Amino acid sequence: MVLLLLLNPYFYSSEKKKVKPKISVFLDNSESTGITKGNYEGLRSYNDLLSSLAFSSIEEADINYFSIGSDVEAFDPDSLSAVEIQTDLSAPINTILEMEDEVKAAVIISDGIITYGRNPSVSAFNSAIPIFTIAIGDTTNVRDISVSNVITNATGYTNSNHIIEAEITQSGFANNTVTVSLVSNDEIIEQKQITFEADGQVVTAEFELLLEEAGLKQYEIRVQPLPDEWTDSNNEQLFSVDVIDDRFKILHIAFQVHPDVKAIRSIIERGETNELHTLTWLGGNRFIEEFPSEEEFNLIIIHGAPYSIQNFEFLSELNDTPTLFFELSSDINSQLSGFDLLTLITSDTRQAAQVTLHPLIDQNAHPVLELPEIDLTDLPPLYAPLRTSVLDLQAEALFALRYNQIDSDYPVISVLERGNLRRGHVVSWGWYRMLQSTNKDHRVFTAELITNLVSWTASNPDDRMLRINPIKQVFNTTERPVLNGSLRNERGDPENSGIIEVELQREGGSARTFNMDHSGNGNYRLNIPRLSEGLYEYSATARKGNRQLDTQNGEFLVSNTSSELSNTTRNDGLLRSIAENSGGAFFTYDDIESFWNTLESASMLEPQIQVEENYFFPVRSLPWFMLVLLLLGSEWMLRKYYSLP
């Protein structure tokens, strides 16, 4: 018996049972299904359809309900309200593909109008179970104008022109002219007149918007309603642009008179996002220009070095400001205060020679090296000291010198990134010759190199530990805004035990506080309750224990407009394609007499044979254990009684 226990025997039995087939019913709960149009009376016709189908009274099948909106969720038909602001018909198809081993058939009740996601008709080919579609809504084209789409970048930059394209759709208004307006805070920024030459035509109105202030800006496209228009609720569409202040404030200080000074300044001034301030030294503490007062610069460029020791107050700011140092000679006084921060490359000799450049690392290894491909040996020569070396071990040499047609490892351009501060050092001079070259490629290469050096050094590295982003910039009043976040500790590892507190405030309203939920691997998520229309600002603070790790601020917009109203014409073609591609059938809400007969003739309501397998393991049974214990105990008693070995 002990041996049998160790062998772990089991008893197997199987039984065939008849079970009801499972049918999944997907109900479109989007706003467009609740619109009264033509013979379709919105939710009244929708509920009448469900009553006629009487899914709950079908004894031959088990019915499971799901809702269709921006996603698929388990659903109670009594909760049908037509409130979803988006329709993704690819979501129910993907759900059907995942449950095809459990379900005999699927039914989709929808108007076929897609406002989000991919076209689902192709995916229906992959379905192993038939999909039966029932079309609700109205197919008639009413006289209507709508803003069907607004095409623009979600991000813009200050002092730049932002292009906005508004697609205006119409039916029944051929040979009509309408006014399309770009509006901000009920103030008309620009108006365009567009003419519809044919029925059903889509016309694009293009606007050019000058972005002047940073922040999340709200705009609206409005179309003037025409007489006899079916509805004007879809004549406007709200959108937002996250305007980023992309201007770099640059201070260029020249300590020597040289053609390179004018050449470098001219390249910097070409950049639309650069705001250049200049200082030209006259000796002592005197400069030609007045020193900018109370300015915070993104970059300070030092060009050359003073020939005598001076005490310049602005050099004390170099500790906290990105710098770019251009040399103009090989003789730099080592006692100059503040210049030790600028120097990334040192030289063993003061002898300068004519050299050319050659890169030390691959073009894709650093943003500064994203340059036009040219033969560097053809460039006009520069001047640089020979036998240079990188002074700071964390600095990275980008270019070395080529002398007497021999490539060397002596650096001439080096950069450094330490924390959130960047520095650059260029020991060669004579750049004006390249800009005066008769070869256009030489001029373009030089301008690109200087531009890349300036923009990279002036940019602040993104070393934030906390990142919070809304899943989109504009939410609807009927949906819940969602913020996603990620948190890393000071070592750069995902922080799973942090607490992220989010303070949310509407313009002119009171603040509310939420805590984000951790979803694993340093990722966090916050589902905010539905909000009223307006611009909301959030401030997130990440803590671990009593230590504050990082903070971040942001904005998002809540509007009451819906893309569901831009198109209200039922799409029978799409629903028919889904049914035919999956082996199902297509019906309309006012012609469903043959629906159940069709499912029955397709054997969708026949019971399924399900084999139930049963395994009995005696070792897991208490009676078996007691039996083994009894037998072993009896043997022990007998052996002891008869003195058996």
Count Cβ atoms within 10 A of the Cβ of residue 39 and give its class: 0-12 exposed, 13-18 middle, 19 or more buried.
exposed
Roughly what angle, to the nearest 10 degrees, separates helices 259-270 and 440-458?
A: 70
Residue 553: CB partners within 8 Å, gap ≥ 6? 537, 538, 539, 540
Structure tokens at 17: 């049972």
Mean pLDDT within 599-626: 81
Number of domains forming the structure of the chain: 5
Under the banding of pLDDT at 50, 70 and 90, the label for residue 466 is confident
Which percentage of the chain shows pLDDT scores above 70? Answer: 94
Residue 448 predicted with pLDDT over 90: yes
Question: According to the model, what pLDDT value does residue 644 have?
Answer: 72
Which element (helix H / strand E) includes 634?
helix 622-641
Query: Which segment of 306-315, 370-379, 539-548 scores lowest on mean pLDDT?
Result: 306-315
Whole-angstrom Cα distance, residue 382 to residue 388?
15
Is the Cβ–Cβ distance between 201 and 174 less than 8 Å? yes
DSSP 564-617: GGS--S--HHHHHHHHHHHT--EEETTB-TTHHHHHHHTTSSSPEEEEEEEEE-
Whether 94 and 122 map to the same domain: the answer is yes
Residue 488 predicted with pLDDT over 60: yes
Under the banding of pLDDT at 50, 70 and 90, the label for residue 105 is very high
Whether 70 and 92 map to the same domain: the answer is yes
∠ CA 149-155-160, nearest 5°, is 105
Residue 513 predicted with pLDDT over 70: yes
In a domain, 1, yes or no: no
Question: According to the model, what pLDDT value does residue 303 have?
Answer: 93
Mean pLDDT within 497-517: 89
Mean pLDDT within 469-477: 78
In a domain, 12, yes or no: no
Question: According to the model, what pLDDT value does residue 606 have?
Answer: 86
Higher pLDDT, 345 or 477: 345
Under the banding of pLDDT at 50, 70 and 90, the label for residue 611 is confident
Question: According to the model, what pLDDT value does residue 562 have?
Answer: 63
∠ CA 232-237-239, nearest 5°, is 165
- Alpha-carbon torsion (309, 310, 315, 319), positive or negative: positive
Structure tokens at 484: 């996603």
Whole-angstrom Cα distance, residue 64 to residue 383?
80
Whether 153 and 172 map to the same domain: the answer is yes
Query: Which segment of 47-51, 67-71, 172-176, 330-334 scores lowest on mean pLDDT?
Result: 330-334
- Alpha-carbon torsion (109, 115, 121, 124), positive or negative: negative
Among 437, 458, 479, the domain boundary falls at 458
Q: pLDDT (tens digit, 9 = 90+) per residue, 186-227? A: 899 999 999 998 887 889 999 999 888 887 788 999 999 988
- In the Cβ-directed half-sphere of 312, how many Cα atoms lie within 13 Å? 24
Q: Name the pairing type of β-strands 534-544 and 523-527.
A: unpaired
Q: Which of 323, 307, 305, 303 is nearest to 260 (CA)?
A: 303
Whether 494 and 629 map to the same domain: the answer is no
Whether 322 and 362 map to the same domain: the answer is yes
- Alpha-carbon torsion (138, 139, 140, 146), positive or negative: positive
Domain range holding 330? 248-458
Question: According to the model, what pLDDT value does residue 592 have?
Answer: 92
In a domain, 10, yes or no: no
Higher pLDDT, 135 or 284: 135
Is the Cβ–Cβ distance between 262 and 432 less than 8 Å? yes
Which percentage of the chain shows pLDDT scores above 90? Answer: 38
Residue 563 predicted with pLDDT over 50: yes
Give the residues across from 542 on adjacent strands: 500, 550
In a domain, 579, yes or no: yes
Whether 283 and 427 map to the same domain: the answer is yes
Kindly report the average pLDDT of the chain as a whole number: 86
Count the neighbouring beta carbons within 10 Å of the beta carbon of residue 146: 25
SS3 readout for 239-255:
EEEEEECCCEEEEEEEC
Q: Which of 632, 616, 640, 602 is nearest to 60 (CA)?
A: 602
Mean pLDDT within 44-62: 91
Give the distance, in angstroms, between the CA of residue 237 and the centroid of all CA atoms in the same chain.
22
Under the banding of pLDDT at 50, 70 and 90, the label for residue 266 is very high
- Phi and psi angles of residue 314, each rounded to the nearest 5 degrees, phi first: -65, -20
What 8-state DSSP symbol labels residue 42?
A: T
Whether 153 and 116 map to the same domain: the answer is no
∠ CA 431-436-440, nearest 5°, is 105
- Three-state SS at 392: coil
Question: According to the model, what pLDDT value does residue 294 have?
Answer: 63
Q: Which of 115, 26, 47, 35 is nearest to 479 (CA)?
A: 115
DSSP 166-193: EEEEEES-TTEEEEEEEEETTEEEEEEE
Whether 340 and 294 map to the same domain: the answer is yes
In a domain, 644, yes or no: yes
Residue 589: CB partners within 8 Å, gap ≥ 6? 40, 45, 46, 49, 109, 134, 135, 136, 137
- Residue spans of alpha helices (H) in 206-283: 259-270
Question: According to the model, what pLDDT value does residue 25 have?
Answer: 95
Mean pLDDT within 175-188: 92
Which element (helix H / strand E) includes 625?
helix 622-641
Amino acid present at 60: E
In a domain, 8, yes or no: no
- Three-state SS at 313: helix
Whether 313 and 446 map to the same domain: the answer is yes
Whole-angstrom Cα distance, residue 567 to residue 144?
10
Whether 288 and 405 map to the same domain: the answer is yes
Is the Cβ–Cβ distance between 562 and 34 less than 8 Å? no
Q: Residue 191: give its domain's CATH number.
A: 2.60.40.10
Structure tokens at 341: 């921060």
Whole-angstrom Cα distance, residue 456 to residue 418?
13
Mean pLDDT within 580-598: 93
Whether 232 and 374 map to the same domain: the answer is no
Question: According to the model, what pLDDT value does residue 334 have?
Answer: 47
Q: pLDDT (tens digit, 9 = 90+) per residue, 115-137? A: 777 788 888 989 999 999 999 99
Whether 252 and 335 map to the same domain: the answer is yes
Query: Which segment of 53-67, 159-173, 281-295, 329-343 scores lowest on mean pLDDT?
Result: 329-343
Mean pLDDT within 570-593: 93
Whole-angstrom Cα distance, residue 43 to residue 47?
6
Q: Residue 512: give its domain's CATH number.
A: 2.60.40.1930
Cα–Cα distances (Å) from 382 to 225, 371, 412, 546, in that order, read: 67, 18, 10, 55
Is the Cβ–Cβ distance between 158 and 169 less than 8 Å? no
In a domain, 7, yes or no: no
Whole-angstrom Cα distance, residue 91 to residue 108?
12
Q: Residue 39: give its domain's CATH number.
A: 3.40.50.410
In a domain, 255, yes or no: yes
- Phi and psi angles of residue 309, each rounded to the nearest 5 degrees, phi first: -75, 120
Cα–Cα distances (Å) from 514 to 485, 505, 509, 526, in that order, read: 13, 11, 16, 8
Among 243, 276, 302, the domain boundary falls at 243
Among 400, 424, 458, the domain boundary falls at 458
Whole-angstrom Cα distance, residue 645 to residue 640?
8
